[in-house]
Chains A and B, each alone.
Chain A
Amino acid sequence: MAAVDHAHGHEHGHDGHGHHPTGLMRWVTTTNHKDIGSMYLWFSFAMFMVGGAMSLVIRAELFQPGLQVVSPAFYNQMITLHALIMVFGAIMPAFVGFANWMIPLQIGAPDMAFARMNNWSFWILPVAGSMLVGSMFVPGGASGTGWTLYPPLSIQMGMGMDMAIFGVHLLGMSSIMGSINIITTILNLRAPGMTLMKMPMFCWTWLITAYLLIAVMPVLAGAVTMLLTDRHFGTTFFDAAGGGDPVLFQHIFWFFGHPEVYIIALPAFGVISEVIPAFSRKPIFGYTSMVYAIASIAIISFFVWAHHMYTTGIPLTGQLYFMYATMLIAVPTGVKVFNWVATMWRGELTFETPMLFALGFLFLFTLGGFSGLVLSVTAVDIMLQDTYYVVAHFHYVMVAGAVFSAYAGAYYWLPKWTGHMYDETLGKAHFWLTLFFFNLTFFVQHFLGLAGMPRRIPDYALQFAEFNKLSSIGAFGLGLSQLLFLYVVIKCIKGGKKAEANVWGAPGLEWTVPSPAPYHTFEEPPVVK
């Protein structure tokens, strides 16, 4: 089996660079997982900028009461695009980028299972992204429905809504293809001896995330397809006059939407589970229970969706069931938090930038988890639903959760990708600035929510003015701080101290190949003992 036919290997292997396209065409046609991973990461950061710029429009409008910067209709378009772009354009592709780069390296495979399709998964994204961004410029503008696209409001929208619908279809295709690729790679291309239970935790989280994606992206596609036919072909899925129900859309959307939040969270957990052991110089605590915890989170996540719909008027029994089920997710998530703490316990801790971001993640994600738990309690959620408390909750889990973890991963693996060390001082500065401004932006939003400020409004009553001002100042600080990251990355690519193969003294196959990782790795499988 393991015999490698060298004559064949030459045809497309390490010596085959000669007839490979160069320049732009190299990137357009590439089948190399590292190239594709880099493209994903760059795309994701670009989208983070675009989505972030939109959040700054939001925060600028909310800086003080009254309408100053944008019209209410445009404000609604901004929140919709901000959320769609951040979730589908920035966060998800960022972790797919990590998956592309790291999974083959971590399991000892030469590339992804379907390298050509991998390229296609990526190249659908710019098309989908342009559909979303482009919808701003058509008559009537982008969809002003919020990222949840609830009908009948979404039935009223103009052609920007159709662009969002097709954008979501495309994003779904990309995600499904990407996920099939990742699952197949993990299940089929592991090096001999790399059993499932020896796999790095990052691979485990992605295995399960990919499964979630394949299960729920088609459901979202179905939901928006029904929207499309309701809009243009006279069906009445979401129209009571024809026997349908607008709330049906919400059920289908959140059947996708809740697993989606774990699609965002799980790979983040995976990165953290790589970084914390590395800087504690200790193996991860409770590997097996970690795996079970991830699996339980994924399974439970299918059965809790209606906690987003407590105020729609679902019956009492339904509310109780969804409340209990939702609360249950705290248990496996708790296991993960405790295991991370135990990993650090009696370790040999150092605090380089990746570790700082991981610790920031741990603190803030747990806080966000707690506010989630508060929201899961129906009687309390009825007071807080659709207020800034919810906005605070999900930015804690998604920005301090997913974005922090993406930064932890980026700093952790940058030396492997570029062959250079990043600037530690600037990295640390980036961390502290981000931490401070993040909390300034979003911590105060808890108070706004408790005081009753609804979300998705461009203007607000006077008692909310002070906290909104702080939050807006925070947001601009947060945005500026991210430019520092861009600088650090470019500096690191351009040069810097040479990185050794195993920069952090961490275990794992990715650290056995030189830095930067050569264009082709593991053409013959390493043997894992």
Chain B
Amino acid sequence: MSQTASRYFVPEPSHWPIVGSLALGLMASGAVMAMNGVAAGKFTLIGGFCVLVYMLFGWFGTVIRESEGGKYSKMVDSSFRWSMSWFIFSEVMFFAAFFGGLFYIRVLSVPDLASFENVKFLYPHFSDVWPSAGPAFKEKFTAMEAFGLPAINTLLLLTSGATLTWAHWGLVKDNRKQLIIGLFLTVALGIAFLVCQAIEYHEAYSEHNLKMTTGVFGSTFFMLTGFHGFHVTLGATMLIVILFRSIFGHFKPDHHFAFEAVAWYWHFVDVVWLLLFILVYWL
């Protein structure tokens, strides 16, 4: 336990929360306007995003200063652990909604649409095959092949999980070099993943005629992989922050919650990808 920290830690009053609320308010109203063709929408949205970034810098900066200043006791540390676990649980449930949707569409709604009475009265030529874009979709499209880019992506992410763990070992052994190299590799792999994902999307649109608007297949495909990609982006950003902090000499072998939090998050993103690979690409 750090010498200067008291049992509890109650922070000073802070203006970051209200800045954050302002950012969210701007972003939400900006998005609403942008989606409904109001000209000011885009700028409000971007403005809100900038405020959000400013807030995140400020807020996390404060947290990092407090942490490095030794204000966080063991108790605070374990609070962080609880909170990060529950936060990841909430993310799991967010993805669960989309996986649940995918399950329902594949197991219930598409077969139902192709079942006796519906076919008879509504969709004379519709049959229950997956991938499906529904009875009204007349164009041709193809699904992405699992054992092409997606398989490579799986490898990339799995490897990045390993390099991250290796970096962690380095941190625990107080081997700074291993820590920094490990983190660097992880970030690089994460970015490689995102690049592959971008190539894949491009192929989907240009070669497979697979778009967001390609019925339920397109909807579930882009929604699930898209939100996953978004989470990889977040994770990679956090890894970059951690990388820089490591370079600046932050973290101690016995006191590095931020590192672990990011690692947990990264592994979570990894697991989601495995599910995606199996349920969206493969089966």
Contact = CB atoms under 8 A, between A and B. Distances in A.
Interface of A: 1-5, 8-9, 12-13, 16, 20-21, 25-26, 28-31, 109-111, 113-117, 119-120, 122-124, 126-127, 130-131, 158-159, 162-163, 166-167, 169-170, 173, 176, 179-181, 183-184, 187-189, 214-219, 221-223, 226, 228-237, 239-245, 247-248, 251-252, 255, 523-525
Given A183-B82, A184-B82, A243-B110, A119 B101 contact: no
Contacts of B93: 214-219
B229 interface: no
Contacts of B137: 241-243
B14 A116 contact: yes
Interface string B56-79: 000100000000000100110011
A235 B212 contact: yes
B253 interface: no
B175 interface: no
Contacts of A183: 82, 86
B223 interface: yes
Contact of B28 (A111, A131, A236): A131
Contacts, number: 245
Contacts of A3: 7
Nearest to B86: A180
Given A127-B28, A187-B82, A232 B13 contact: no
A123 B215 contact: no
Contacts of B8: 109-111, 189, 523
Given A5-B6, A218-B93, A240-B113, A127 B135 contact: no
Given A26-B13, A120-B16, A188-B78, 12 more contacts: A5-B5, A21-B13, A25-B13, A113-B79, A117-B17, A122-B17, A162-B32, A176-B90, A180-B83, A222-B101, A233-B212, A237-B105
Interface stretch (B18-26, B143-151, B235-243, B262-270): B18-26
Contacts of B220: 237
Contacts of B32: 159, 162-163, 166
Interface string B151-188: 00000000000000000000000000000000000000
A236 B13 contact: no
Interface in B206-249: 211-213, 215-220, 222-223
B80 to A, nearest CB: 9
Given A28-B15, A248-B101, A248-B105, A241 B24 contact: no
Nearest to A252: B97
